[in-house]
Amino acid sequence: AQTVTQSQPEMSVQEAETVTLSCTYDTSESDYYLFWYKQPPSRQMILVIRQEAYKQQNATENRFSVNFQKAAKSFSLKISDSQLGDAAMYFCAYRRNNAGNNRKLIWGLGTSLAVNP
Amino acid sequence: SQTIHQWPATLVQPVGSPLSLECTVEGTSNPNLYWYRQAAGRGLQLLFYSVGIGQISSEVPQNLSASRPQDRQFILSSKKLLLSDSGFYLCAWSVSGVNTEAFFGQGTRLTVV
C-alpha cells in the first residue's frame, strides 16, 4: 500500500527567508501524481503545487518549488521569500495514475509552518 | 468557473442526534466527490467517495453514511452521533476521467457534546 511521510511536524522560518518542507512516499507504481496542499487557519485546503511523476522537471509556482527525486521517493517543497501569509499546515499527498475513475489521495500527517516577522 | 459549497460551517450537536452535512459543486458535471474527516492536529482521513449518482464507496466502517442524490450534491449523514464523530469535515471534488487534483470546500467543524 502507498504511504506518505512528513517527518517534520513543525517548522519555522523568518520572514523573507527560505524554508524546505520534507515529504517521502512509498509506492511500487511508476506513474503517479504528487501534491502539496496548504491549510491556513481558516482550514480550507488549498492546492499549492503538483508534480507528475513522469516529468523530470521540478514544478514551480511563483515562490513555491519542489525537489522531486523519484528514485529516492522524495518530494520536498521549497518556499522562497517567506511571507506571513505562508503560515499554515502543509500537507503532502500522493495519487496513483490509475485507469479507473477514482481519484483517491494518500495524505501525509502535515507540517505546521510558522513564519516569524 | 467551478465552485464548491459546503454547509454549515460550524455545528454543535448532542450525542444521539442525527447529522446532515451538505456539499454541492457548481460549474462542472459528473465530478468525483469525496468526504474527508480531519481530527485536531491530524491528517485527512477519506470517509466516502462517489464517482456517480447513487454510487458510494466507503473507506472506513463507522457511524456515518453518504448519499449522492443528484450529480453535484453529496450528503454526509448519521442517524445517531457519537462523541467520537467530532472533527473537521471536508468535502472535495475532482474532474471525472482526468488526472487532476482535488478541490476542497471550506469545511464543517462538528462538535458533538
The closest of A77, A76, A66, A87 to A15, measured between CA atoms, is A87
B87 touches chain A (CB under 8 A): no
Looking at the predicted structure, is the pLDDT value of residue A14 above 60?
Answer: yes
Q: What pLDDT is recorded for position B98?
A: 63
Residue with cell 507540517: A111
User: Does residue A51 contact residue A33 with C-beta atoms inside 8 Å?
Assistant: yes
- Would you state the cell numbers that stand for residue A44, as one nine-digit string? 480550507
Rounded to the nearest integer, the mean pLDDT of chain A is 92
Looking at the predicted structure, is the pLDDT value of residue A12 above 60?
Answer: yes
Contact A33 B51 (CB under 8 A): no
Q: ∠ CA(A104), CA(A105), CA(A106), 5° rounding? A: 125
Looking at the predicted structure, is the pLDDT value of residue B67 above 90?
Answer: yes
- Give residue-wise pLDDT tens across range B1-59: 889 999 999 999 999 999 999 999 999 999 999 999 987 767 788 899 998 999 998 88
- Would you state the cell numbers that stand for residue A11, as one nine-digit string? 517548522
Contact B109 A47 (CB under 8 A): no
B74 touches chain A (CB under 8 A): no
What does the DSSP 8-state code read for residue A15?
Answer: T
Mean pLDDT of A21-30: 94
Q: What pLDDT is recorded for position B99?
A: 60
Q: What pLDDT is recorded for position B107?
A: 93
- Give residue-wise pLDDT tens across range A55-107: 889 999 999 999 999 999 999 999 999 999 999 999 999 988 765 555 678 89
Q: What pLDDT is recorded for position A105?
A: 84
Q: Is A76 left (phi over 0), alpha (psi -120 to 50) or beta?
A: beta
Task: Closest CB to B49: pick one of A35, A102, A109.
Answer: A102
